[in-house]
Structure 1
Amino acid sequence: MTTAIDLFAGLGGWTEGAEAAGVDVLWAANHWPVAVEWHRANHPGAIHVCQDLHQANWGAVPRTDIGIASPCCQGHAKARGKKKGNPEHDASRSTAWAVPSAAEVLEQEAWVVENVPEFVDWVLYPSWVDAMQRLGYQVAPHIVDCADLGVPQHRVRLFLICTKSKAPIQLQLQQCEHVPASSFLDFYSGKWSQIEKPGRAQATLDRVRNGRQRFGERFIMPYYGKGSGLTGRDINRPIGTITTLDRWALVRGDEMRMLSANEALAAMSFPSDTKRPDNHRLTMHMAGNAVPPLAGQRILEALKAAA
């Protein structure tokens, strides 16, 4: 298993991890021109296609050993408050059908599909599995916290291991020592602001106060949402899940700032020389949607070892 195609390639987390695992990504596709631009900047050797994969001509795609894919997760994630009949969410969920569509034509030895764990609760998940099985694949769901694979971030994700084997393959994933957020946070750079200032939300002030009581003068905390409760997080443990929006704040004494784009990429385990937009919002969006490269590498290494 030495070649792959990457569906919904985004910034290139899967591709980065595949290449580190000794798998050459020959073809990468995404519907968003910005993502394709930056994937190409980081992986110029691959063929790049900007396309809605519902419309893909799979006969024109290189035949490879493996397919890797991260279909849109927004229609499944609890955080989005999914509702039946929501057209946007219905459309995002349907992106998963690109995988059996591609597999029917390209007949790879294996597919690895990443999504949120709620993907298995999708009403059409049994039909999706049935489609893969009819194409000759055994499907083995793996729920993995990427922190256990060495990524400095608690990020629980589903990896579907689809193989043309006699029985489903359960990967032997070696649990790594957790890497703390302090490994990539820089408390001496960035634009800091005073915590106590007019207009600051009381909820934020409460989180800062509670965090100081537990962790001292330096810690990280969610700026919105319910993650980490109302107390923040110790910098000596992995950060919480990186999302597509500015979620995490650093506290330093009486000052605070939001996580930088470079810190977010480091939390995802992207290499420090990863090319990215100067635009903070775009980088955060692509980082939050990505597969952590180190997680992808560990998954594919285990698959190759099991094959």
Structure 2
Amino acid sequence: MPALIREATLMVRAIDLFCGGGGSSWGAQAAGAELVGAVDAWDVAARTYSDNFPGAVVVNTRLSDESGPEIFGDIGQVDLLIASPECTHHSIARGAKPRCDESRRSGWYVMRFIREMRPQWIVLENVAMMRNWEGFRELKTALEDVGYLLTIQTLDAADFGVPQARRRLFIMGELGRKPDEVTVPPSHPLPASTILDEPGTWPAKHAFDERRAEATAERIRAGIAELGEGEDFLVVYYSSDRAGGWQPLTRPLRTLTTLDRFGLVSWVEGIPRLRMLQLPELRRAMGFGLCPRTGREYRLEYGSRRDRVKILGNGVCPPVMQHVIECLTGIGCSLARAA
């Protein structure tokens, strides 16, 4: 590996395809990357990304097999390509809805960018079940044919200081060199209690409000029966998570989705009250903190509440991507190994 790559001052120029609101880029930026381009089909996500990365060329369009680097204009050399192709139709979260062939093919839409830009490093992120996609092996072979040696790992955000259990697949590639596997840093998982605002910050209603759906009330009763009165906990407000419908605050939050689904049951003067988790809490659950390079806070200003929950639920936890990029590019953990 060239000596320059081991310099902590090296600025890695990066683009982010299927960028969403910029979770991957927020982590890459913290690792030392300069985001110069991004693309997403959803206008709310593209505006959110632009707000957080004003120096990047952000394109609001839907990628296809024909899409390539020309959409960015002349942005110069790109060292790192990050992509999070649409994952809805690889995931069990899709329920019984029919599969969409275009969404499942979206992993291929990165190939023209990779062949023509030939970045030194690539990171493709998706749900762990992408391994079961029938095109997965072909995509892997196509990347290898371009010259990338690959390391493929499933990583859990809870192992990287994120107070959420969130397993994702990372395909990491480098031209001419097989990336080392990402090692999990020594840490203790952060519990869901660490994301919560101070009691009384947000209004809450009686947990057994007469308008409460009976299924929700049953999940609340189950939590109280298990933990006892006076113990706060989280409940799945809509649908079910196939894990009992509630969880204690002593464990990392279960995986956030694009739906506004987690509520906090708290006790006030001996009465259980319920409120939904709020956007600042969900942002913490994804691991968004101040960017160590810019000192800025991640901004989530556009769209409805539902839109902003969707942006977070579709996102990548920045601390995980930060660790991946640091190790992959030689800045960070690889630099430490060489010392």
Paired residues, number: 304
Aligned to 1:214: 226
Separation (CA, whole Å) in 2 of partners of 1:131 and 1:82? 31
Q: CA offsets, 1:133-190, max 9 Å, x none?
A: 1111122211111000111100011111122234453223324321121112123222
Could you say if the C-alpha distance between residues 166 and 13 of structure 1 is closer, same or farther in structure 2, counting changes exceeding 3 Å? closer
Letter in 1 for 2:213: A
Between 280-289 and 217-226, report the one with greater CA deviation: 217-226
Shift of 1:212: 1.9
Aligned to 2:184: 173
Is the contact between residue 82 and residue 89 of structure 1 (CA under 8 Å) also seen in structure 2?
Answer: no
Aligned to 1:301: 326
Q: Provide the aligned C-alpha RMSD in A.
A: 2.0
Q: Secondary structure at the match of 2:310?
A: helix
Could you say if the C-alpha distance between residues 166 and 213 of structure 1 is closer, same or farther in structure 2, counting changes exceeding 3 Å? same
TM-score, structure 1 length as denominator? 0.92
Letter in 1 for 2:16: D
Separation (CA, whole Å) in 2 of partners of 1:93 and 1:139? 21
Q: Secondary structure at the match of 2:36?
A: strand
Shift of 1:104: 0.5
Is the contact between residue 222 and residue 228 of structure 1 (CA under 8 Å) also seen in structure 2?
Answer: no
Letter in 2 for 1:7: L
Aligned to 2:162: 151
Letter in 2 for 1:16: W
Is the contact between residue 236 and residue 245 of structure 2 (CA under 8 Å) also seen in structure 1?
Answer: no
Between 235-244 and 74-83, report the one with greater CA deviation: 74-83
Aligned to 2:194: 183
User: Structure 1: which 5+ residue stretches go unaligned?
Assistant: none
> Which aligned pairs between 1:101-140 and structure 2 lie closer than 5 A?
101-140=112-151
> Which aligned pairs between 1:254-273 and structure 2 lie closer than 5 A?
254-271=272-289, 273=297
Instruction: Pick from 251, 256, 260 the counterpart of residue 242 of structure 1.
Output: 256
Q: Are 1:5 and 2:30 counterparts?
A: no
TM-score, structure 2 length as denominator? 0.84
Q: Secondary structure at the match of 2:82?
A: strand
Is the contact between residue 151 and residue 178 of structure 2 (CA under 8 Å) also seen in structure 1?
Answer: no
Instruction: Pick from 76, 80, 85 the counterpart of residue 94 of structure 2.
Output: 80
Q: Are 1:201 and 2:201 counterparts?
A: no
User: Structure 2: which 5+ residue stretches go unaligned?
Assistant: 6-11, 291-296
Is the contact between residue 214 and residue 231 of structure 1 (CA under 8 Å) also seen in structure 2?
Answer: no
Could you say if the C-alpha distance between residues 106 and 158 of structure 1 is closer, same or farther in structure 2, counting changes exceeding 3 Å? same
Displaced runs of 4 or more, over 4 A:
none
Q: Secondary structure at the match of 1:269?
A: coil
Aligned to 2:301: 277
